[in-house]
Structure 1
Amino acid sequence: MARSHSDASQRPTSGPAADITAPQPRSVAQETLVRFGIRSWALVGVLLLAVAAFFVMGQLRVVVVPLILALFPAAVLMPLNHWLQRHRLPPAAAAAILLIGTFAMVSGLISLLAPTVAAELDGLATSAQEGYEQVAAFLAEGPFGLEPILVEDLIERARAGLGQGDTNIGQRVFGVAGAVAEGLTGLVFGLFALFFYLKDGERIAGWLRDLFPRRVRGDVAAMSSRSWDTVGGYIRGQLFVAFIDAMFIGIGLFALRVPLAFPLAVLVFFGGLFPIVGAFASGTLAVLVALATQGVTKALIVLALVLLVQQIEGNLLQPIVLGKATALHPLAVIGSLTAGGLTLGILGAFLAVPVAASVARSVGYIREQRGAG
């Protein structure tokens, strides 16, 4: 036993024994794979939450959709609401004045513009169709030799599809009545929501902020403030830019004596509310009408006018009025318009870009905080 103990004491040691139970350090590739997996599962979770949110919105759309949509006019009107309150007007009175004034202004504009535009819609559609036929004939018979798109065939298919439901007229009538009732209910509820957003906006924002953990409330407040300012500023700025576009293009059409100049200017205004896509569509319509009624020379002049106004808008007006904070890549704009249009139709397409701009600003805030940290 003594010799064994002596041999053991003389045996060389190579250092402390390795602990096989300790976790081994990961390689760079493993760390990258783990981070990718975490982000992928996080993305899956976000998508599942989005699907669940859309499902809930679909089931409760009469309540949820007006609540969401009322946020946008509230964001536009909030600076004026604050101005009225600074001049010692009670919050309820300021909200009521803005609500009634906005409703009266929109109703008045519709009552003034609708009869004039509606009276000339048939002529506008006819002129646009004639202009399209001239372009199609040039493409088919000119040097290009292209097969034109048969719009008439698409129209006939749409009419045939509508005609298939003649046997279910009763169901269609009840469906229309239900849609009208749902729309009126949503409108009334949205007006009430807008009133309370203007009256108690800061209290509502504080209540929502307190739902988050205390450690992130400051970040939530900063991101929501940026998003709110972005949405309001974007819609106000886009309305102004669309008005300038419509004014200058309308003046140009009147000067060139292009028929239907007023309804074309109105369409240019509404088209200007949908960046890129709307301006392209309304400008194309103006060129087609000029081609059908005034010939190729006037159509080329109108095309040059539309391109000039759009260049001034994109390179001068938008950077000044909207600022770089709301600037989006054209691909992001088109993607947002498509997603909004598929989700909520024309209204969704109108609201999609300011929502995308507010999300971009929130992401920018997160990056700033990470860089500062």
Structure 2
Amino acid sequence: MTATLSSTRARAALRTSARASAELLLIFLMLAVTLWILGRMWSVVWPLVVGLLLTTLTWPPTRFLLRRGWKPALAASTVTVLFLLVAIGVVALIAVPVASQSGELTDGVVEGIQKLREWAAGPPLNIGDAQINKAFDTAVSRAQDGLGSMVGAVVTGVSTVVNGLVTAVLALFLMFFFLKDGPRFLPWLARQLPGRLATDIPAVAARSWDTLGAFVRSQAAVGLLDAVLIGLGLWIVGVPLVLPLAVLTFVSAFVPIIGALFAGLVAVLIALVSNGLTDALIVLAIIVVVQQLEGNVFQPMIQSRGLGLHAAVILLAVTLGGSLAGIVGSLLAVPIAALIAVVWNYVREQLREPSPPGPDASDAGAAVR
């Protein structure tokens, strides 16, 4: 006997699929409108984001002072001034030499790519295909343009400098107010929201803050260790531009997976151009060892709680963020993905069916008897 399809069930399935599709379309439309609004308000959103990221770094010393009985305004002012002094010192001791050597760094990378092209065209590979050569030319031009814009954007262009200063000043003021009034924000927010939102939104905000703080502080610590160890290795080998390469390694640590590959490739290319193939291989070995130490030793020790994201999800998030918003998108992709995971986990917890109660002790005793 052959089974026939039920028209009633088929129509019900189609209606369910149509309703689910319409709901998904509404969600995507809401996300698109939200992104459009954020894009229009980016001049305000970007300082807010930078201020939050800086607050995650400066909150531990502020909390230490608060626990010692300091007033919130005094503790926030002290930490803000100290942070500003440290930032000025970093700019004076590191950023200025890096900016002055940005042209040499860009030329070194381009020359390294040209040497790789010549090596690939010779024996034993003997690659002479026109498409391969065109790909190398494209890589050279993109590396020159990308590195030049990324390293020199801070020091070239009046508009860029002015926007950067405005963003820095706003972020600094926002960081001060976040440090001063941050502990009172969630109770205030709970009083402003009606019903269950007074519980759900502060709970999600607290979890998001913990996740964001753990990510920023752990990435900063791991990036600093990477920069010190790789910079020391480059100095021992005798590779030039040690300071710019160490700074690039530290900054790239905030872009997981792709950042480490990019910084390592730049260091190897500089070593290949200046010191030859042997030193380039030594630099490659140093970078591989440091990256293995980072993944297997530094990261588990420094980051007590992971982001709960698979490596493939991180890679896709960084790729999508870079395609949508360039370098800024790559930097913010992983924190945003982690915050989305926090919200999803909380919603899943609230929607989870309660577990059925277990059998009473009396029932269990009766069953035994």
Normalised-by-shorter TM-score class: 0.7 to 0.9
Identity %: 35
Residue 319 (structure 1) aligned to one of 300, 307, 314: 300
2:154 is equivalent to residue 154 of structure 1: no
Contact 1:67 1:190 in 2 (8 A): yes
CA distance in 1, matches of 2:143, 2:254: 30
Question: CA distance change for structure 1 residues 97 and 265 in 2, over 3 Å: closer, same or farther?
Answer: same
CA distance in 2, matches of 1:179, 1:292: 32
TM-score by length of 2: 0.79
Question: CA distance change for structure 1 residues 124 and 269 in 2, over 3 Å: closer, same or farther?
Answer: same
Cross-structure match for 1:332? 313
Runs of 5+ unmatched residues, structure 1:
1-25, 159-175
Q: Which amino acid aligns with 1:350?
A: L
Cross-structure match for 1:99? 80
What is the 5 A alignment of 1:240-319?
240-319=221-300
Matched residue pairs, number?
Answer: 332
- In the TM superposition, residue 281 of structure 1 has moved relative to its aligned partner by 0.8
CA distance in 2, matches of 1:332, 1:181: 36
Q: Aligned to 2:278, what secondary structure does the other structure show?
A: helix
- In the TM superposition, residue 46 of structure 1 has moved relative to its aligned partner by 2.7
- CA offsets, 1:80-125, max 9 Å, x none? 3222212111111122222222222112101111232234334333
CA distance in 2, matches of 1:156, 1:197: 39
Runs of 5+ unmatched residues, structure 2:
1-7, 146-156, 355-369
- In the TM superposition, residue 180 of structure 1 has moved relative to its aligned partner by 5.3
- In the TM superposition, residue 34 of structure 1 has moved relative to its aligned partner by 5.1
Contact 1:124 1:260 in 2 (8 A): yes
- In the TM superposition, residue 247 of structure 1 has moved relative to its aligned partner by 1.2
2:65 is equivalent to residue 78 of structure 1: no
CA distance in 1, matches of 2:14, 2:62: 51
Question: CA distance change for structure 1 residues 141 and 177 in 2, over 3 Å: closer, same or farther?
Answer: closer
Q: Which amino acid aligns with 1:293?
A: S
- CA offsets, 1:338-360, max 9 Å, x none? 34335554333222212211221
CA distance in 2, matches of 1:319, 1:35: 45
Cross-structure match for 1:42? 23
Contact 1:76 1:235 in 2 (8 A): yes
Name the stretch that deviates more: 226-235 or 35-44.
Answer: 35-44
CA distance in 2, matches of 1:42, 1:97: 50
What is the 5 A alignment of 1:1-373?
27=9, 36-146=17-127, 147-148=132-133, 149-151=136-138, 154=141, 181-371=162-352, 373=354
Question: CA distance change for structure 1 residues 338 and 97 in 2, over 3 Å: closer, same or farther?
Answer: farther
Name the stretch that deviates more: 345-354 or 270-279.
Answer: 345-354
CA distance in 2, matches of 1:153, 1:252: 27
Q: Which amino acid aligns with 1:43?
A: L
TM-score by length of 1: 0.78
